[in-house]
Amino acid sequence: MPLENATNVSDLVASNPAASDPMAGADDHIRLIKAALKTTLAHTGQLTNTDNQLIPAAGTSTKPAYSFAAEPTLGFYRSAAGVVSLAGGKLSPTGLREVGEVAMFSALPASLGVTTTDTGKDWLELNGATYNVADYPALASRYGVSSGTFTLPDMYTLGRFPRSRTAATAVRTAQANTVGPHTHPDVTPTTAAETQDHVHTFSGTTGVDSPDHVHNTVGYDGGAGNAGGAPGGFNSGLRQVSSGASTRHMHSFSGTTNSRSATHNHTVTVSTPANTGTTETRPEAISFIFAVKT
């Protein structure tokens, strides 16, 4: 049979040469194989980890350095120093990072976007920033936005604590700080004396009265010639006089209350105590960086 044509290894036909070919053509087949190998693996010397040998160029997001025959745009490429990126799809199994996934970091990720002008980042902090759909199309698509801009949830200043969605609360809904209705039960123990009829005694002293005054008493000193006359309408010659201290003084008082059963109600008013210098209600907490995968 005539010698096949081949430039690269992939062009060689595995069934050639046929068993019926004469021995004279064997050397031609060997030379063809050697030429195809050298063309495919273009290099000189020992294979090493350098350019122009088995190691491809960096590649791009549309033409990855490592790709697949069935899907040439799917593969890996070098997007930055020390960074390998995936082009054209996602990794499997699904346990790997998914677009739209939220993670907590205890330190700044190597590729974190924090402002609207950041592009090409692997993570975006959830701080309420607005981004162009063209810069992060996969994440925008997860949020149901196909053009223009999209805004991230704000966990930096607004919704500091995450919680699950409900049938009445949609995903990414921000909720304000509230305090729900509650009661403060009286848990102070009582004694036996307090749970039966009892009385209370009281006593005390008034403060010093003011201004100075006297308490008058009426008497007669037997003086003659009193024109006013004595009680009874006759002139006895007695004079009316007053007595009493004209100094500031106090009064003492005391008494006992009526009997009253302890089985009665007392109105208790509960006031909100002064805050502790903050503007929010929160449990004990540790702060992290909340970010979404792009």
DSSP track, 107-166: S--SSEE-STT--S-SEEE-BS-EEETTTSHHHHHHTT--SSEEE--BTTTT--S-----
In a domain, 105, yes or no: yes
Angstrom distance (rounded) from CA 18 to CA 29: 11
What's residue 188's pLDDT?
62
Task: State the CB neighbour count (10 A cutoff) for residue 60.
Answer: 13
What's residue 48's pLDDT?
61
* Average pLDDT, integer, range 201-214: 71
From 89, 112, 147, give the residue that closes a domain. 89
Residue 229 has pLDDT above 50, yes or no: no
**50 and 28 belong to one structural domain:** yes
**294 and 159 belong to one structural domain:** yes
In a domain, 1, yes or no: yes
Angstrom distance (rounded) from CA 279 to CA 160: 13
**16 and 151 belong to one structural domain:** no
What's this model's pTM, rounded to 2 decimal places?
Answer: 0.45
Is residue 130 within 8 A of residue 149, CB to CB? The reply is: yes
Total domains in the chain come to: 3
In a domain, 243, yes or no: no
Question: Which structural domain range is residue 78 located in?
Answer: 56-89
Residue 186 has pLDDT above 70, yes or no: no
Exposed / middle / buried, residue 89 (Cβ in 10 Å: 0-12, 13-18, 19+): exposed
Strands (E) located in the chain:
66-68, 71-80, 83-87, 102-105, 112-113, 123-125, 130-132, 149-151, 201-205, 219-220, 240-241, 252-256, 289-293
In a domain, 200, yes or no: no
Residue 14 has pLDDT above 70, yes or no: yes
**63 and 3 belong to one structural domain:** no
**23 and 159 belong to one structural domain:** no
What's residue 206's pLDDT?
78
**49 and 62 belong to one structural domain:** no
Most confident option among 66-75, 121-130, 254-263: 121-130
From 89, 110, 135, give the residue that closes a domain. 89
From 89, 109, 140, give the residue that closes a domain. 89
Is residue 171 within 8 A of residue 132, CB to CB? The reply is: no
* Average pLDDT, integer, range 12-34: 76
What's residue 132's pLDDT?
96
* Average pLDDT, integer, range 131-135: 95
**155 and 98 belong to one structural domain:** yes
What's residue 145's pLDDT?
94
Is residue 218 within 8 A of residue 238, CB to CB? The reply is: no
**60 and 50 belong to one structural domain:** no
Looking up tokens 């109105």 gives 267
Higher pLDDT, 55 or 51: 55
Output DSSP code: residue 11: G
Residue 102 has pLDDT above 80, yes or no: yes
In a domain, 228, yes or no: no
- Residue 224 β-bridge partners: none
In a domain, 275, yes or no: no
Higher pLDDT, 209 or 124: 124
* Average pLDDT, integer, range 95-115: 87
